[in-house]
Amino acid sequence: MRALKENDTDTYPPGSVIPFQLLNSAFESEQLDKVMYIIDNYTIDHYNDKDDPVIVNAARRGNKTLFEKLIKLGADINAMNHVKSSAVKSALYSRNYEGIRALLELGFEMKSYSGGAALRSAAWDGEFAMVRLFVDYGADVNFSGKDQVFPYCPTPIQMAASGNHFEIVKYLVEHGADVTIKDKYGGRAFLEAKQLKNQEMMAYIKQFEPAIWHEADKRAAELKKMGLPSDIVKWLGTESRRIDLPDNGSVEYIEFETIFDVKEIHWQDRVFLDFTKEVEGFDSTGFIIWIPDQKCLGSLDVEHDELVTFEGVKWQKFIKKLPIIIEHVLDGAPIDEL
């Protein structure tokens, strides 16, 4: 193999110190023969860059022999990259199951943020063998940390339910998963199963939830105590409500949740009550909310962190003006009067 080059100008003769990016580049191109040549013939300037550690890239196709060499040379087996992806998570994405087992045998710490994040990803993807392996090595079954893929902080069991992986849901419950934990937007495992209309999974999860969440009178009283006005509670009822909007140019219909499925959204140290189930063609999370501390209706754009309020507007009038309100929410255009 010829001496390495960077930008076709700077030549690095064997025995010299080279930038870690060149080693990572070899990992990305899956040239393991080149990787081994580099490790055996050069000194890497930095194995544990805070944004792009070598071990995370190595895990895509690496094996135990490679990992042992890198660790001996100073690579941190538990390092994470700039998007909080670890070696095990990188190997999981690449389906490098042999590599995952090697990393665990070499001391990867599953009782950590990285271990919980890997478990959540495996549960979501339906990787049952990996779920069992990660739990055996001590991964937190109730992990709810934030990352770029899951900024709303769901748990492994919520994501297993979201992926319709009932056997994983049962396994996680049997190993201590708490189905009552809610994500940042009020989602939980039961609501994921309900969204999929998986009656068997719903019935299974329901038995581990508080009865009040499934008893209409008690649930209505709970929502009122949380600040949701009685007229909205009564209007929502126990059956989903869909409103067709045939004359609306952007949205053909909007559907609202039942009282059982109203969710709490936690945003900037405030709590909102979200009762939008579906908005045709758009993300429904936070689309129509109740703002308890302002006692008014509103809309929260969770992606852009923007809140719109409709102060002083009563529910019945709000429903009648819904087409105008929806266009305002989508376009950001001001409403002079409702």
CATH placement of domain 110-209: 1.25.40.20
7: pLDDT strictly greater than 90: no
Which is more confident, 251 or 288?
288
Determine the length of the chain: 338
336: pLDDT strictly greater than 80: no
- Would you give the DSSP letter of residue 196? T
**Annotated domain spans of the chain:** 1-108, 110-209, 215-331
4: pLDDT strictly greater than 80: no
8: pLDDT strictly greater than 50: no
Supply the pLDDT for residue 208: 97
Give the position of tokens 């001590």: 138
Whether 298 and 308 have beta carbons less than 8 Å apart is answered as: yes
Q: Tens of pLDDT along 168-202?
A: 999 999 999 999 999 999 999 999 999 999 999 99
Q: What's the Cα-to-Cα distance from 156 to each of 64, 117, 118, rounded to whole Å?
A: 27, 8, 9
Supply the pLDDT for residue 251: 87
10: pLDDT strictly greater than 70: no
Whether 27 and 38 have beta carbons less than 8 Å apart is answered as: no
Give the position of tokens 């209309």: 197
Beta bridge partners of 241: 256
Q: Tens of pLDDT along 91-102?
A: 999 999 999 999
Q: What is d(CA 122, CA 81) in angstroms, rounded to the nearest whole number?
A: 19
Q: What is d(CA 297, CA 313) in angstroms, rounded to the nearest whole number?
A: 7
**How would residue 331 be classed by pLDDT, with cut points 50, 70 and 90?**
confident
Rounded to 5 degrees, φ, ψ at 298 are -165, -175
Supply the pLDDT for residue 3: 52
Q: Around Cβ 12, how many Cβ atoms within 10 Å?
A: 17
Beta bridge partners of 243: 254
Q: Tens of pLDDT along 191-250?
A: 999 999 999 999 999 999 999 899 999 999 999 999 999 999 999 999 878 999 887 678
Give the position of tokens 């908005």: 279
In this prediction the pTM is 0.81
Architecture of the domain spanning 1-108: Alpha Horseshoe (1.25)
Which is more confident, 164 or 327?
164
For 135-141, which contacts have Cβ atoms below 8 Å and span 24 or more sequence positions? 135/171, 135/172, 135/175, 137/104, 137/110, 137/111, 138/110, 138/111, 139/110, 139/111, 139/115, 140/111, 140/115, 140/116, 141/172, 141/175, 141/176, 141/177
- Three-state secondary-structure class, residue 298: strand
156: pLDDT strictly greater than 60: yes
Supply the pLDDT for residue 14: 84
Q: What is d(CA 242, CA 306) in angstroms, rounded to the nearest whole number?
A: 25
Average pLDDT, the chain: 91
Q: Tens of pLDDT along 286-297?
A: 999 999 999 999
Sign of the dihedral defined by the CA atoms of residues 69, 71, 75, 77, in that order? positive
Instruction: Say whether 110-209 and 1-108 share the same fold.
Output: yes
